Amino acid sequence: MPDYWGITGYPISHSLTPRLFAAVGEHLGMSGVQQIFLEADGIDEFESRVAGLEGDIWLSCTAPLKHAPQDRLGVKGPEGVNAVNQLMRIAGEWSGTSTDGLGFVTACRHIGVEPSGTVLKMRGGGSAARAIAAAWAAEGGLIISEEGRRTLVGGPWDSAIIEAGEAAIGIDLDAAPSGGESMHLDAEMQVSISYGDGASIGEFAVIMVAAQHLEAWKGIFAPERAAELPSLSLLLERISGAP
């Protein structure tokens, strides 16, 4: 059990992550962990703030901190993704992973969209786009990549890329954080992973952040307790009643 858990990046005031940590921790009977919001707009500020915290730390991280930890903290992201959104410091040693893609796939299944054989139209090429592309391709899905601020580079998803087709689901990963508006994409359904203050548990972005949080517990925070974790539906229900 860590001494601290929470969120880091900028902006983070709207983040549900501390509530998610509290809800999962309570479900597992964990108490006494201090919640933290480490607002940092760069790796220098992050390192300065985290240096004042003694003990073990579990963190979800968002922009602009998804790439910098790899070099400065010696943390390696998954192949092709080359970024992290979960960080853990145990006995002074950092580790991390990316759960964006796994969370997206789980959230899609939660709303009735099965990736296998399904076309995803995706705008953007940043860390979340690469993570989603990797996970979608691994589940047998197909991807139409639309160029946004960045181009989706080559990676483990290359064989899943198609030039055209009927997209069942679309996502604009260049939408601004904290509930920013998405560009319309030609797909049967369009979802967003950007949410702001007061977002409901029915919003795809909230479903995904809860799903990727559970993946972080399974992957690095407490894999030995994976079988005890709450279901996604239960976790969403728990945070809907949280202050």
* Helix (H/G/I), strand (E/B), else coil: 93: strand
Distance (Å, whole) CA 58 – CA 219: 12
| 66, 76, 121, 218: the active-site residue | 66
Distance (Å, whole) CA 142 – CA 156: 12
Query: Could you tell me the two tokens for 116?
Result: 């296998």
66 is an active site residue: yes
Distance (Å, whole) CA 116 – CA 131: 17
DSSP 50-62: HTT--S-EEEEE-
Helices (H), the chain: 17-27, 43-50, 68-72, 100-110, 127-138, 204-216, 232-240
Q: CA dist 21 to 3, 33, 77, 217, Å?
A: 12, 9, 22, 9
Q: CA dist 80 to 101, 130, 133, 159, Å?
A: 12, 7, 10, 14
Q: Active-site residue numbers?
A: 66
